[in-house]
Amino acid sequence: MRITLKQSDYDRILDFAKSGLPNEACGLIAGTEEREGDKVTVRHIEKVYLLTNVDHSNEHFSMDPKERLESVKDMRANGWKPLGNWHSHPESPSRPSAEDIRLSFDVHATYMILSLMDREHPDFNAFHTDKAQGVYRKEELEIVKDTQ
């Protein structure tokens, strides 16, 4: 599956994650999907939500429940589908940790991880996880120019 994300939304995620250091930052993603039959082929992220990590930790995150609910209401109001979430890894690579996989409850979600290990060269990737198997698969992430 291919994921598209606008450059301005990537920049917002990056700035928000850097401003939250040394802790992990987190949020949700919403948008639309293209399908071929029953298979989703492309996910277009229309909006990123920047949420508070109520754990205030550099090793894990929990999204503020009130902010999460407000985000879902906004998604519904705009006709967008919840596509998954994103979070940062301040000191580890851009790949799901064992805890990330263990906590990946939605088999249809896209999980995006921004590594800030190398502050000058952040690494951002999208994944699909299989909690039952304890594995993950990298998805194609394309950062696209804003149209406006």
Cis preceding linkage at 22, omega within 30: yes
Under the banding of pLDDT at 50, 70 and 90, the label for residue 130 is confident
Q: Which domain holds residue 46?
A: 2-144
> What is the Cα–Cα distance from 129 to 137, expressed in whole angstroms?
6
pLDDT tens string 22-51: 999 999 999 999 999 999 999 999 999 999
Query: What is the value of pTM for the model shown?
Result: 0.94
Q: What is the CATH number of the domain that holds 137?
A: 3.40.140.10
Number of domains in the chain: 1
pLDDT tens string 81-113: 999 999 999 999 999 988 888 888 888 899 999
> What is the Cα–Cα distance from 67 to 30, expressed in whole angstroms?
14
pLDDT exceeds cutoff 90 at 53: yes
The residue among 70, 5, 56, 69 whose CA lies nearest residue 26 is 56
Strands 123-130 and 110-115: antiparallel
> What is the Cα–Cα distance from 45 to 38, expressed in whole angstroms?
20
Under the banding of pLDDT at 50, 70 and 90, the label for residue 148 is low
Average pLDDT value for the chain: 94
pLDDT at position 84: 96
